């Protein structure tokens, strides 16, 4: 009898398989958009607005046209003649491609130049003379709704103020009643500052329109190539089958590479007009100042509490600053993403949330920056509010959480905002985290230290988030239902290629999709090649963002492999000359139930599909599966951080960071841990230094890496990861849940809670992120909350 395959050895589920992507990247042989050169290629540069809000009085590009090597200067006026001055956004608004009437944020695209060389194109941009009439700038929702505020979107017929929407969810009357019956009410207001995902690679595209074939090929930095194809078909009015979007290697995305940007549109139009390939590669300041931002919400909430610590109800209000155009990338049913996933981990009977979105003179975008549509804001507020409530009640913060957690036996659990969480072991995760950090010992040490004037703090944060949109009943983008697909072709020698409509940007799909195939079919992972990112060859998919690849595309890979296995079973029956019912499957092999040593391998079945199929069977061994998830997947995590704050300077150091992630079954533990550490670093970044703010004139502070601080290897603390708790997702084919974003979503509150805990003697309730030393120092010294709301002071 043949030896059963060792799944770990063949690189199946649970193997920490080395990544196949690495071989090209470590050799400098990646193929990023800017690495591509096409014959006859021209270069495009964008002229951006220096002002945040101004009427355009005139644009004179004549000097630019004079510069040798310049082929085309595009302005809003020229775009307007082709009905391309404005484009639709992903949130049913419009966005200027090139400004015609006004500029509405600093860095907005005003004109672009296409030239032989990027240096010439830059020279020509500087030779364009634009005359502006400055207007007052708005940089916060409070300014946006103040009396006499200038109307930013005067281009829209029925827009007479700066309000985009008012939205609500939950039970207002029931919440009201619960608050009336409360023993204690806790309140918290905070600002989650504007941030930018800031992958190291900026955005860019190479548009290549071929007049002879009428085909438009666009190489571009996109996380969602199929959505882009649909958008180009609709915006540029080109037939969809004549558009090919290729997303080559992507140097990080984090949500920044989901939207459609004016630069893409201009490079496409320029290529059509000039009939030559046109490359546009953004510089970093262009990326930071104009492309998809994240967060920038004001969260105001209160919690109704019983004296024993039971949470009775929650009320939340969100003011969201969307910038000049409402172009959030999010499921269209929801105005402010999935922010109503807040408090999903807690058993709270009733809740009510209201949200108001406003325009401002800032860049548009509202992307899901390493999160599933605004869940980062939701979880941050949740865990800051929970800590504030525990303090108000005088309860231990761990005990307060444990008391209110959804219990293991309550799943599936309907949250007060209507989500259905699927599974979890919340209490166990908390136990693992507290034990790892040495909770009781730390509390004792904290008391001792305080007696000697040293400020130690411990912060806990927990999170569960909805990952993997759809289902298609509830989730769509511009009407396109959110599902994914996978195509699997098994060649005659048992080697295979799998393609999906997702597009990895470092998550390691080329490694992990092969592992899923290996798990389902017993084909060694090294015999499976993965291909993504080309709309002419990949099956349809909604792309990679919001942690949806493993929950949706990964599930499709498992499902298509099962279809292949079903056909292989028929082939095996034919080869073994028995009926299908008499056949059993073990990894990589079918055998006769009554004679287990008589069997055929999956590779032998593959060969038979091309050389020895039964009469009447369709030859070949390939299939496609579309996967519409029955629910979102709900991972859970506990993050615990300990810090020491220097009372003299406000500088705080991280002593320990413990992460307990329960993301269900881990396809590749090494890659999962890499994702968690990346997320923790972004959490630390947001808590400590990373933000974009604005002065009173609307100047963007943080539009380059000198001002936009990102942690380096020097500042970033070490992390201790725990993987003991595994709750398989009950509805995912291989029990996996999303994981790429959990730590970035749940992490920030752990760092902030730790610092607030360290200075608890001051009575300070909140310091807005980032907790810069001067803010912490101000809080300690003046014993007051510190707001980070723009405008920041300018030099007088």
Catalytic pick among 356, 370, 374, 499: 370
For 701-715, b/e burial (b = at least 16 CB within 10 A) is ebbeeeebbebeeee
> What CA–CA distance (Å, rounded) separates 214 from 242?
7
Closer CB to another protein, 201 or 328, in the complex = 201
Phi, psi of 534 (to 5 degrees): -120, 115
> Which of 358, 485, 681, 753: binder of another protein (CB under 8 A)?
681
Closer CB to another protein, 253 or 424, in the complex = 253
Closer CB to another protein, 117 or 724, in the complex = 117
Q: Is 24 in the site for another protein (CB under 8 A)?
A: yes
Catalytic pick among 125, 371, 605, 663: 371
Residue 223 is among the residues annotated as catalytic for this protein = yes
Residue 211 is among the residues annotated as catalytic for this protein = no
Give least dist CB 16 to another protein, A.
Answer: 8
Catalytic pick among 95, 106, 143, 223: 223
Rounded alpha-carbon distances, angstroms, from residue 740 to 612, 673, 719:
44, 9, 16
Angle at 147 between CA 141 and CA 150, to 5 degrees: 70
Give least dist CB 201 to another protein, A.
Answer: 5
Phi, psi of 703 (to 5 degrees): -95, 15
**DSSP code at position 717:** P
Q: Is 658 in the site for another protein (CB under 8 A)?
A: no
> Which of 50, 174, 349, 674: binder of another protein (CB under 8 A)?
674
Q: Rounded to an integer, what is the distance from CA 189 to the centroid of its chain?
A: 25
Give least dist CB 42 to another protein, A.
Answer: 11
> What CA–CA distance (Å, rounded) separates 489 from 622?
4
Q: Is 678 in the site for another protein (CB under 8 A)?
A: yes
Contact stretch for another protein (CB under 8 A) within 24-32, 395-403, 421-429, 558-566: 24-32
* Contact criterion met (CB below 8 Å) for 153 and 161: no
Give least dist CB 716 to another protein, A.
Answer: 5
Q: Is 509 in the site for another protein (CB under 8 A)?
A: no
Rounded alpha-carbon distances, angstroms, from residue 602 to 517, 589, 598, 605:
12, 6, 14, 5
* Residue 655 token pair: 């002593």
Q: Is 483 in the site for another protein (CB under 8 A)?
A: no
Q: Is 63 in the site for another protein (CB under 8 A)?
A: no
Residue 371 is among the residues annotated as catalytic for this protein = yes
Give least dist CB 432 to another protein, A.
Answer: 20
Closer CB to another protein, 120 or 304, in the complex = 120
> Which of 86, 132, 209, 254: binder of another protein (CB under 8 A)?
254
Q: Is 444 in the site for another protein (CB under 8 A)?
A: no
> Which of 30, 88, 150, 349: binder of another protein (CB under 8 A)?
30
* Residue 763 token pair: 């009575």
* Residues counted in the chain: 796
> Which of 2, 6, 35, 614: binder of another protein (CB under 8 A)?
35
Give least dist CB 284 to another protein, A.
Answer: 4
Closer CB to another protein, 65 or 165, in the complex = 65
> What CA–CA distance (Å, rounded) separates 758 from 459?
9
Catalytic pick among 143, 675, 741, 742: 741
Rounded alpha-carbon distances, angstroms, from residue 102 to 19, 96, 99, 688:
48, 10, 6, 36
How large is the greatest C-alpha to C-alpha distance in the chain, in angstroms?
A: 89
Rounded alpha-carbon distances, angstroms, from residue 329 to 7, 283, 391:
39, 23, 37
Number of H helices, E strands in the chain: 19, 34
Give least dist CB 94 to another protein, A.
Answer: 31
Helix, strand or coil, per DSSP, at residue 667? coil
* Residue 304 token pair: 């109704």
Q: Is 677 in the site for another protein (CB under 8 A)?
A: yes
> Which of 1, 26, 173, 212: binder of another protein (CB under 8 A)?
26
Q: Is 250 in the site for another protein (CB under 8 A)?
A: yes
Give least dist CB 162 to another protein, A.
Answer: 33
Q: Is 682 in the site for another protein (CB under 8 A)?
A: yes
Q: Is 39 in the site for another protein (CB under 8 A)?
A: no
Closer CB to another protein, 577 or 714, in the complex = 714
693-694 vs 700-701, strand pairing mode? antiparallel
Give least dist CB 702 to another protein, A.
Answer: 12
What is the size of the binding site for another protein (CB under 8 A)? 61
x/- track of binding to another protein for residues 721-740 (CB under 8 A): --------------------
Contacts of 157 (CB under 8 A, 6+ apart): none
Strand partners, 722: 660
x/- track of binding to another protein for residues 174-213 (CB under 8 A): ------------------------xxxxx-----------
> Which of 81, 441, 597, 714: binder of another protein (CB under 8 A)?
714
**Minimal CA–CA distance to 732: which of 556, 492, 483, 496?**
556
Closer CB to another protein, 67 or 701, in the complex = 67
Q: Is 655 in the site for another protein (CB under 8 A)?
A: no
For 619-628, b/e burial (b = at least 16 CB within 10 A) is eebbbbbbbb
Q: Please give the full DSSP string across 264-282, using - where no structure is assigned.
A: HHHHHHHHHHHTS-EEEE-
Closer CB to another protein, 147 or 714, in the complex = 714
Burial of 198 (0-12, 13-18, 19+ CB in 10 A): buried
Q: Is 471 in the site for another protein (CB under 8 A)?
A: no
> What CA–CA distance (Å, rounded) separates 343 from 347?
8
> Which of 283, 531, 628, 778: binder of another protein (CB under 8 A)?
283
> What CA–CA distance (Å, rounded) separates 341 from 331?
14
Among all chains, which residue has been given the structure tokens 């969810």?
169
Contact stretch for another protein (CB under 8 A) within 162-170, 453-461, 491-499, 710-718: 710-718
Closer CB to another protein, 90 or 121, in the complex = 121
Give least dist CB 147 to another protein, A.
Answer: 41
Q: Is 8 in the site for another protein (CB under 8 A)?
A: no
Closer CB to another protein, 115 or 355, in the complex = 115
Q: Rounded to an integer, what is the distance from CA 689 to the centroid of its chain?
A: 20
Helix, strand or coil, per DSSP, at residue 252? coil
Closer CB to another protein, 643 or 659, in the complex = 659
Q: Is 719 in the site for another protein (CB under 8 A)?
A: yes
* Contact criterion met (CB below 8 Å) for 360 and 400: no
Residue 266 is among the residues annotated as catalytic for this protein = no
Among all chains, which residue has been given the structure tokens 């028929």?
570
| Catalytic residue positions, numbered | 223, 370-371, 741
For another protein, the binding residues (CB under 8 A) are: 18-19, 21-30, 32, 34-35, 37, 67-69, 116-117, 119-120, 198-202, 249-254, 283-285, 505-508, 670-671, 673-674, 677-682, 704-706, 710, 712-714, 716, 718-719
């Amino acid at each position: 009898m043949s030896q059963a395959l060792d799944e770990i050895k063949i690189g199946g589920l649970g193997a920490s398989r080395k990544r196949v992507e690495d071989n090209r990247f470590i050799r400098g042989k990646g193929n990023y958009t800017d690495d591509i050169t096409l014959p006859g290629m021209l270069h495009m540069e964008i002229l951006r607005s220096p002002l945040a809000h101004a009427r355009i009085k005139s644009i004179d590009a004549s000097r630019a046209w004079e510069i040798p090597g310049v082929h085309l200067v595009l302005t809003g006026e020229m775009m307007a003649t082709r009905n391309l001055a404005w484009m639709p956004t992903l949130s049913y608004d419009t966005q200027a491609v090139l400004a015609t009437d006004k500029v509405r944020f600093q860095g907005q695209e005003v004109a672009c130049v296409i030239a032989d060389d990027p240096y010439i194109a830059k020279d020509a941009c500087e030779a364009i003379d634009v005359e502006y009439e400055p207007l007052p700038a708005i940089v916060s929702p409070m300014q946006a709704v103040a009396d006499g505020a200038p109307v930013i979107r005067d281009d829209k017929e029925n827009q007479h103020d700066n309000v985009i929407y008012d939205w609500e969810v939950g039970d207002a009357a029931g919440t009201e009643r619960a608050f009336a019956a409360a023993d204690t009410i806790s309140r918290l207001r905070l600002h989650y500052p504007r941030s930018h995902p800031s992958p190291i690679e900026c955005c860019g595209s190479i548009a290549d329109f071929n007049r002879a074939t009428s085909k438009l090929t666009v190489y571009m930095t996109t996380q969602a190539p199929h959505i882009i194809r649909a958008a180009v078909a609709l915006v540029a009015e080109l037939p969809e089958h004549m558009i090919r979007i290729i997303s080559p290697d992507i140097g990080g995305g984090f949500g920044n590479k989901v939207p459609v940007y004016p630069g893409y549109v201009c490079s496409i139009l320029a290529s059509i007009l000039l009939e030559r390939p046109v490359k546009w590669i953004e510089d970093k300041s262009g990326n930071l100042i104009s492309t998809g931002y994240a967060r920038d919400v004001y969260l105001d909430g209160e919690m109704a509490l019983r004296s024993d610590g039971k949470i009775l109800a929650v009320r939340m209000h969100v003011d969201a600053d969307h910038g000049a155009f409402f172009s959030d990338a999010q499921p269209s049913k929801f105005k402010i993403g999935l922010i109503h996933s807040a408090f999903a981990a807690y058993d709270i009977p009733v809740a009510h949330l209201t949200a108001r979105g406003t325009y401002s003179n800032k860049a548009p975008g509202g992307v899901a920056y390493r999160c599933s549509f605004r869940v980062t804001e939701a979880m941050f507020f949740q865990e800051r509010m929970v800590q504030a409530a525990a303090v108000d009640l005088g309860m231990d913060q761990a005990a307060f959480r444990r008391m209110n957690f959804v219990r293991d036996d309550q799943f599936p659990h309907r949250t007060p905002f209507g989500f259905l969480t699927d599974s979890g072991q919340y209490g166990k995760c908390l136990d693992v985290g507290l034990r790892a950090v040495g909770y009781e010992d730390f509390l004792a040490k904290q008391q001792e230290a305080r007696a000697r004037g040293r400020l130690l703090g411990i912060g806990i944060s927990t999170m569960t988030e909805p990952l993997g949109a759809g289902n298609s009943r509830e989730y769509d983008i511009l009407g396109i239902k959110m599902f994914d697909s996978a195509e699997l072709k098994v060649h005659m020698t048992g080697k295979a290629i799998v393609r999906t409509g997702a597009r990895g940007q470092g998550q390691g799909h080329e490694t992990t999709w092969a592992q899923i195939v290996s798990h389902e079919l017993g084909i060694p992972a090294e015999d499976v090649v993965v291909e993504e990112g080309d709309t002419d060859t990949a099956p349809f998919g909604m792309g990679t963002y919001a942690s949806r690849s493993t929950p949706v595309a990964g599930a499709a890979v498992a499902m298509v492999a099962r279809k292949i296995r079903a056909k292989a079973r028929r082939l095996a029956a034919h080869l073994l000359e028995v009926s299908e019912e008499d056949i059993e499957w073990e990894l990589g092999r079918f055998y006769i139930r009554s004679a287990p040593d008589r069997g055929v391998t999956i590779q032998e079945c593959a060969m038979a599909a091309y050389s020895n199929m039964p009469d009447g069977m369709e030859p070949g061994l390939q299939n496609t599966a579309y996967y519409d998830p029955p629910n979102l997947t709900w991972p859970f995590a506990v993050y615990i951080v300990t810090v020491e704050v220097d009372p003299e300077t406000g500088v705080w150091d991280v002593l320990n960071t413990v992460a307990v992630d329960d993301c269900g079954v881990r396809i590749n533990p090494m890659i999962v841990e890499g994702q968690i550490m990346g997320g923790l670093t972004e959490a630390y970044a947001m808590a400590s230094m990373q933000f974009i703010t604005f002065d009173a004139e609307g100047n963007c502070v943080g539009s380059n890496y000198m001002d936009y601080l990102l942690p380096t290897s020097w500042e970033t603390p070490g992390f201790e990861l725990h993987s003991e708790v595994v709750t398989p997702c009950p509805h995912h084919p291989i029990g996996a849940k999303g994981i790429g974003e959990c730590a970035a979503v749940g992490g920030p509150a752990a760092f902030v809670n730790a610092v607030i805990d360290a200075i608890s003697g001051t009575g300070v309730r909140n310091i807005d992120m980032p907790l810069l030393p001067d803010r912490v120092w101000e809080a300690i010294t003046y014993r007051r909350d510190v707001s980070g709301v723009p405008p920041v002071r300018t030099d007088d």
